[in-house]
Amino acid sequence: MKKYLLLVGLFTLIQWGYAQTPVKLRLNEAIDYAMQHQPAFQNYKVDQQIAAAKQLESTSKYVPKLNGNVDFRDNLKLGQIALKFPNPITGVDEQRTIQQGTKYSATAGVDLTVPVLDMGAVTDIQYSKRQKELAALQAEQATVDLKVNVSRAYYLALLNTERVKKAQKSVERFQKAYDDTKVRYDNQNAIKSDLNRAYLNLSNAKYQLKVSQDSVKTARLTLAQVLGLEQDAEVELTDALPADIQVPQLPEYPDFKGAELSRVELRAENMNRTMGQLQLRKVNMQYVPTLNGYGYIGGQGIDNDNLFNKDKWFWTSYIGLRLTVPIFDGLQKVSLANQQKLIVTKSDNNLAVIRNNINYQLRSSLINYANAASNLQLIKENVALAEEVVKDVNVRYANQVATYQEVIDAETTLKDTEFNYLQALYAYLLSELDWKKANGKL
């Protein structure tokens, strides 16, 4: 029993250790992982499979149909028919009954139907082909959105991780300031209020560190959810925030035509419009006659005792053409055609909205991208300057030339500038994503 419990405990420990192993991912690996495991994204792949199946279904409408049928009947009670016949002797009509049918009867045959001309079926085939293409475009759009969402979540997790590092350094600096002030206070070279301020600054720095650490946990949970990781799985980021940003040369005016050609949502709405036109054509084609070929071969067996005797079976076969001409349907097709025309009109309006959105996104993302790059460079220079000020103030404070308030001010300015830099870097990365998305380059 003890041996069994030991084995169970060891297996559980191994499983727990395996479950806690973090998934190490770079940004591009995270995107690939999400494309393979994110449940919502997988539905777009399923939609493509459904569209392919529908295309095969519509194609089958123009494939000959062959059906076999067999019918066996045991006539438990045969019908009777009453007839009057003149009696040749008396000349009076007499009623006589005649039994109808036989005890057993059966039929067996094969029906063949061959579509010759069916414009509705032809339109269905064209429509299903466009539907398959639309599903591919929707999957492409979902891929773009997935890249944006994963990148945003990944950058946020990196940003919060870097904030923790900055917060830890801030704690170390305020801890040193507190220790130095404590020594000065003990040597009666600092007053109580200086020591209290040093303690408060250290306490606030530790609080900010705790907040940053909690933000990292939340950001990684968000990233895990976007990636489609299992509930207990952990993710470890192997990329880092870029230390040196090389801003590309931005154009003075966006390339509107190039962006419209690249944007998948515009192509998807154009496909929607084409499908609406095909549906309208299908309605109009219902006025066109349909022509089908058909054929039959089969037989009927009848007997009171044994149907399996081939002499009791009578065979027949035929072929033919059936032309169906629509004459009047109560104006149903007119109503359907009007509906489809309105659907096409909606697609035209949607295309205009999408084009306006693309133009707006190109202009705004270009401005935001340029401003984010400029702000990032400025704040990066401010960080270097703030670091120099802190070094200078600490040297002067150690030589009793600067006041403790100057040390506090310098440390606070450095901390705020570092956090502003991280925020500016995050804003820059997001603006870069928006610029690429606006140009259809994701």
CA distance 260 to 270: 12
pLDDT of the residue at 136? 94
Using alpha carbons, select from 362, 376, 356, 354 the residue that is nearest to residue 251. 362
pLDDT beneath 50, residues of the chain: 1-2, 4-19
pLDDT in tens, 186-207: 888 778 888 888 899 899 999 9
pLDDT of the residue at 18? 46
pLDDT of the residue at 19? 47
pLDDT of the residue at 20? 56
Using alpha carbons, select from 117, 120, 139 the residue that is nearest to residue 45. 139
Rg (CA), the chain: 41
Which two tokens mark 7?
A: 């084995």
Q: Which residues contact 273 (CB under 8 A, 6 or more apart)?
A: 344, 347, 348, 351
Which two tokens mark 226?
A: 């976007």
Q: Which residues contact 386 (CB under 8 A, 6 or more apart)?
A: 410, 413, 414, 417, 418
Helices (H), 187-306: 192-227, 256-262, 264-285
pLDDT of the residue at 89? 75
Looking at the DSSP bridge assignments, the partners of residue 65 are 113
Using alpha carbons, select from 146, 107, 52, 43 the residue that is nearest to residue 312. 107
